Each structure stands twice: as structure tokens, then as C-alpha cells.
Amino acid sequence: MRIEGGKKELFRKVFVSIPLPFSKWLYSFARNNLFRDSRKPYFENAFQSVKNKGPNGDYLEFGVFAGTSFILAANCAARYGLREMRFFAFDSFEGLPEGEGEVFNQGQFQFSEEGFTRTVVKAGVPAEKIIKVKGWYSESLTPEVKRKYQLREAAIVHIDCDLYSSTRDALAFVQDLVRVGSVVIFDDWYCFGEKKDAEQFGEERAFREWPLSKYFEEFYDFSPNKAFIMTSAPPR
């Protein structure tokens, strides 16, 4: 769910103009009463699972747009006492790098880095826990990023890449970070659903081709989202 449409965009502009902590309260009120996020109970299940069973890792989101799922994740982490969790935002902030399947177009979903940062901080995400990695995934998802931020484990991976190529790169990046208990959430699993060969596109194709997919089982299925949990460890 993205902040889009007249009313939601107007609300975003108003709430980011209000100082903390009032902006945080207003965002919470709106999300609980005006613009309810249907993904909330499913995200809570994922964070509760990580809290109860591990791993003790970070939250990685690929494709953050305006930050609504990023904020939801941070709120869930706070609710379940995951105080050491950091929140990684991987995005070009220039929109999609290419089109695919006559569903997505190059440059679509562009949202500025400044706008994203302002939105999530005003909503109450602790600025010191936000780590932004800007750039096209083919160039920015490097071993140097892992070393720089001492990124060793991914507890929850949220993939909102839409495209096959971007999802493929994101999954390759987290391949040595996921552990038994890690949850991988796909935001647009069914976005090619009306095409007869939908499985040949996007996130579904990338996950199916991922060498680690056989070590995961379905965690939840809530269209357009689908999530998997790692149930066994591959040979290292």
C-alpha cells in the first residue's frame, strides 16, 4: 500500500510539516482510524515470529517509496521489543530502472530520498537506526555495504522491487544473511496476476529461481503480498 491519491498525499504534506512528537501521534492516529494498513496483522506475525524464534538480525527493505511499510516495520519492531534491530532502506530514489511485462514502466514510483527520510522520521522512526543505501541494485548491493555497516544477519527482508531483475539482485544480496527463522516478504507477488504467464515475471520468478527458495516455506499469503519463512539451513 503506497501513499497515493489526493487525500493521502494531502495528509502526508500536512503531517510532515508538524514537529515531533505531534507528527508521530497524528500519523499513528490516521493509520489506525483513517488510512488503515491491511498488512499490519501480517507484519506483526512476522515480527512476533522473529522475536520468539530469531534470528537476531536487522530489517532490510528493497524499494521503500514513501516509507509506509518501513514505518510499519519500525512500529512492529518497537512493539515486540526488538531494540537492537536496524532498518535498512535500499532504493535508487529514481523510480524503477526499467519496465516489465506491460505492467511497470521505467521511472515509475519515483520518490525523493529527502521526502522518504522526512516522512519516516516524522512518523517516529528513530533517525539513528535508519541506514539508507542509495543506487541501482546492480551497483549498490555490494560486499562493501555489508562490511561498512557490519551487516551479518537479516531477520526480516521486505521486497517491494516489483521487477524480476531488481528482485533477483536483492535476493542474491541477502543470500548469506538469512538464517533459519528469517522471513522474506514480497509486496507485489501477484502484480502480474492477470497475465497467463505471470510466473515468468517479477518477484515470483526471481524467488523461484533463487537457490535458497527450497529452504523456505510459505508463511502467509495475503494478496498482493506473499511471505516465506526459512525452515532449514542450506550447506554453508
Over the stretch 12-41, which tens digit does the pLDDT of each residue have?
Answer: 889 999 999 999 999 999 999 988 999 999
pTM, 2 dp: 0.93
Residue 198 above 90 pLDDT? no
- Residues 145-156: pLDDT tens digits? 999 999 999 999
Q: How far is CA 145 from the centre of its chain?
A: 18
Q: What is the CA 215 to chain-centroid distance, rounded?
A: 21
Contacts (Cβ under 8 Å, ≥6 apart) of 214:
none
Q: Which band of pLDDT confidence, cut at 50, 70 and 90, is reported for residue 3?
A: very low
Domains of the chain by residue range: 38-230
Write phi, then psi, for 225 (nearest 5 degrees): -90, 155
Q: Is the pLDDT of residue 1 over 90?
A: no
Specify whether domain 38-230 bears CATH 3.40.50.150.
yes
Q: Which grid cell sits at 161?
A: 522491487
